[in-house]
Amino acid sequence: MDLPSFIWLWRIAAWSMGLSLTTYCLLAASGGFLYYARSHNPAPTQATTQPITQSGEAVAQGSPNALPNTPGLASAALNRPAWLRPTHYILGGILVLLVLLLLGIGVVGTLGEYGGLGHSVHLPAGLTVVALTLASAWCASRISPQRPWARKAHLTINGILLVAFITVTATGWSVVQKYL
């Protein structure tokens, strides 16, 4: 049992986990803001003609300047600050990197300690978090007016991801108890 020689590794893991949970909360907040801005926005669902609908979708894709004379849509652009979507996207990228870092630390640390993997339910819990995070990011990249399922999938996966995060923290914590 040589955990102390890996203590720096687990210290990085603890910080990364704190940052992951913080990032998740910031994503929930910025995502909630995106949702609010979209649902309090008269376009594009209430737009009547095809060209406006298409322009509206252009707004939803974050290019308000590409909009000519669509007053309802102009207010949509005001509702939703230009920095919001890129911020949400960048935070999402950070979450993906943190989760991959945690996976790397978990695998390297466990291999260094035991020479093998699969010592507890923490392994499937960790792999589930990684898979869900990657799936959520992939769905997010698919979100577009032509793919209404992508937004729904993004939100559903994020709800499950919360449960998975709690599970991985609880199982990881119970493993830590062994060493304390």
Site residues for ligand HEM per CB under 6 A? 13, 17, 20, 24, 27-28, 31-32, 34-35, 38, 60, 85, 88-89, 92, 95-96, 99, 102-103, 106-107, 109-110, 117-120, 122-123, 126, 129-130, 133, 136-137, 140, 143, 151, 154-155, 158, 168-169, 172-173, 175-176
Residue whose CB is less far from ligand HEM, 52 or 168: 168
Residue whose CB is less far from ligand HEM, 11 or 71: 11
Q: Is 11 exposed, middle or buried (0-12, 13-18, 19+ CB in 10 A)?
A: exposed
φ, ψ at 83 (rounded to 5°): -80, -10
Max CA separation in the chain (angstroms): 70
Q: What is the dihedral of CA 112, 116, 119, 122, to 10 degrees?
A: 70
Task: Kindly state the smallest distance separating residue 51's Cβ from ligand HEM, in Å.
Answer: 20
User: CB neighbours (10 Å) of residue 23?
Assistant: 20
Q: Which amino acid is at 73?
A: L
Residue whose CB is less far from ligand HEM, 38 or 72: 38
Q: Which two tokens stand for residue 106?
A: 């978990």
Task: Kindly state the smallest distance separating residue 42's Cβ from ligand HEM, in Å.
Answer: 15
Residue whose CB is less far from ligand HEM, 70 or 133: 133
Chain centroid to CA 94: 9
Task: Kindly state the smallest distance separating residue 50's Cβ from ligand HEM, in Å.
Answer: 21
Task: Kindly state the smallest distance separating residue 49's Cβ from ligand HEM, in Å.
Answer: 22
Q: Which helix (H) or strand (E) holds 51?
A: helix 50-60
Residue whose CB is less far from ligand HEM, 58 or 168: 168
Task: Kindly state the smallest distance separating residue 69's Cβ from ligand HEM, in Å.
Answer: 22
Please give the span between the terminal C-alpha atoms of the chain, in angstroms, as a whole number. Answer: 13
